[in-house]
């Protein structure tokens, strides 16, 4: 899988970049992320304080994901797990196997690494707010396929380089499904369909569909 991932990344880096709408999207990303950060700043500060009181530092967690052209970057979130969450996952073969089988994510109701504050942050999607800094920095967009880890490339087969031809996003065709987000391989189909048919109008529609999803939250898991 590692060799396959390396080949997909190499192909993605050699693909010509599509410039249509690139400048407009970048301006929209900067303006949108700035406005959202200003609006979310008080809640973000309170959430960070709650994390610090419950489990100390660090307040932020940066998970390594693949970005545009397969270049790795740190995808920022408010920390919702114990500080040594990744080490605990590697030490527990059963948990690691379940993590991979479930699309590289553990169901929150059985993940022993999630803190009490973390469960609330995940239900409300507040843990995702720091990704607005990723958008400002240029490693992510407001709209795009969700960033993945290298192991997930196998689900995209020969089209993995297509997925990596776009910046990953906070909102997207898959995330806009809310609680009905499908697992792989349906997730891969949705993300690739978005990449192949991306348009400014399509991005606006995804943002509109994402508003009620964020307001409803994830609910009981």
Low-confidence ranges of the chain (pLDDT < 70): 1-20, 219-221
Predicted TM-score of the model (pTM): 0.85
Cα–Cα distance measured from residue 60 to residue 191, given in angstroms and rounded to the nearest whole number:
27
The pLDDT value recorded for residue 4 is 55
The helix (run of H) or strand (run of E) holding residue 186 is helix 186-196
The pLDDT value recorded for residue 166 is 94
Contacts of 87 (CB under 8 A, 6+ apart): none
The pLDDT value recorded for residue 45 is 95
Cα–Cα distance measured from residue 191 to residue 187, given in angstroms and rounded to the nearest whole number:
6
Contacts of 170 (CB under 8 A, 6+ apart): 128, 131, 132, 135, 140, 141, 142, 143, 144
The pLDDT value recorded for residue 1 is 42
The pLDDT value recorded for residue 138 is 96
Whether omega for the bond prior to residue 58 falls within 30 degrees of 0, making it cis, is yes
């Amino acid at each position: 899988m590692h060799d396959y991932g390396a080949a997909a990344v190499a192909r993605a880096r050699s693909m010509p970049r599509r410039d249509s709408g690139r400048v407009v999207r970048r301006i929209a990303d900067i303006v949108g992320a700035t406005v959202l950060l200003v609006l979310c700043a008080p809640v973000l500060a309170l959430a960070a304080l709650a994390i610090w009181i419950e489990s100390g530092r660090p307040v932020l967690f940066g998970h390594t994901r693949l970005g545009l052209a397969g270049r790795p970057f740190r995808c920022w979130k408010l920390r919702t797990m114990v500080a040594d969450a990744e080490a605990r996952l590697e030490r527990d073969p059963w948990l690691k196997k379940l993590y991979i089988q479930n699309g590289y994510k553990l169901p929150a109701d059985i993940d022993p690494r999630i803190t009490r504050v973390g469960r609330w942050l995940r239900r409300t999607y507040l843990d995702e707010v720091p990704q607005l800094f990723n958008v400002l920095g240029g490693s992510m967009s407001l709209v795009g396929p969700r960033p993945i880890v290298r192991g997930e490339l196998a689900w995209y087969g020969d089209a993995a380089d297509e997925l990596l031809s776009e910046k990953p996003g906070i909102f997207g065709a898959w995330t806009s499904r809310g609680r009905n987000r499908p697992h792989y391989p349906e997730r891969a189909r949705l993300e690739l369909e978005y990449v192949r048919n991306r348009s400014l109008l399509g991005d606006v529609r995804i943002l509109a569909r994402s508003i009620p999803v964020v307001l409803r939250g994830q609910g009981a898991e």
